[in-house]
Amino acid sequence: MKKLLTALCFIGLMAFSANQANAQTGIKGGLNLANVKYDVSAMGFSMDETTDMRIGFHAGVFTNLALNDMLSIQLEALYTIKGSKEEEEFFGDTFEIETELAFVEVPVLLRFNVPIDGDTRPYLLAGGHVGYLLDATESEDGQSIDISDELNEINFGASFGAGVSFGSFFIEGRYDLGLANLADVDMPDADFKATANAIMFSGGVQF
């Protein structure tokens, strides 16, 4: 609860600061299709595995700081659910394991507005994101356990995508590529890395 209150206060402070600076602000939300990629290296051998997609969501606020008519800096503060889904077999039985990762994330993106006339205007986004892990759970057969102690709290990565604005409204698609190792485990003579990725579909309104 303390982590969640901290995240909500941060998002509120960002929205208030953007409003004070007379920047264009807005709200957004949408769907996440998230997975986790695992990389293991040991004794000269390496392997990687990517889990199935898990459905999550994101919601938050953003502000656009115009540099000129075509370029702006888009700052966001989001509550976002990422994670993974896997199926494992054990003596002929199949078990589904889901991992849910809740973050407060701060994407910082360069936005290029395609110079065309009219209210409908496409744009491109590229930049990065930094996140703080609020909660992490692993579920199997309806039973959940907290795995926060097994993960690093700080996450970061690259973000890129595109969108279309219709006056004050917009739709957007983006890919978050995880670069930070979330796994906080000690494996002698081995390197283990887990990165969180997501395809994000958003909609929102800019005031």
Neighbouring-strand partners of residue 164: 122, 171
In tens, the pLDDT along 87-110 reads 777 676 777 899 999 999 999 999
In tens, the pLDDT along 51-91 reads 999 999 999 999 999 888 899 999 999 999 999 998 777 67
User: What is the pTM for the complete model shown?
Assistant: 0.85
CATH number of 2-206: 2.40.160
List the one residue out of 40, 78, 39, 41 whose CA is nearest residue 58: 78
Q: What is the largest CA-CA distance in the chain?
A: 63
> What is the Cα–Cα distance from 159 to 128, expressed in whole angstroms?
5
pLDDT at 175: 98
One-letter identity of residue 42: A
One-letter identity of residue 82: K
Percent of the chain with pLDDT over 90: 65
pLDDT at 85: 92
Mean pLDDT of the chain: 87
Is the model more confident about 177 or about 188? Answer: 177
How many other C-beta atoms lie within 10 A of the C-beta of residue 142?
5
Average pLDDT over residues 172-183: 96
> What is the Cα–Cα distance from 15 to 9, expressed in whole angstroms?
10
pLDDT at 21: 53
Percent of the chain with pLDDT over 70: 86
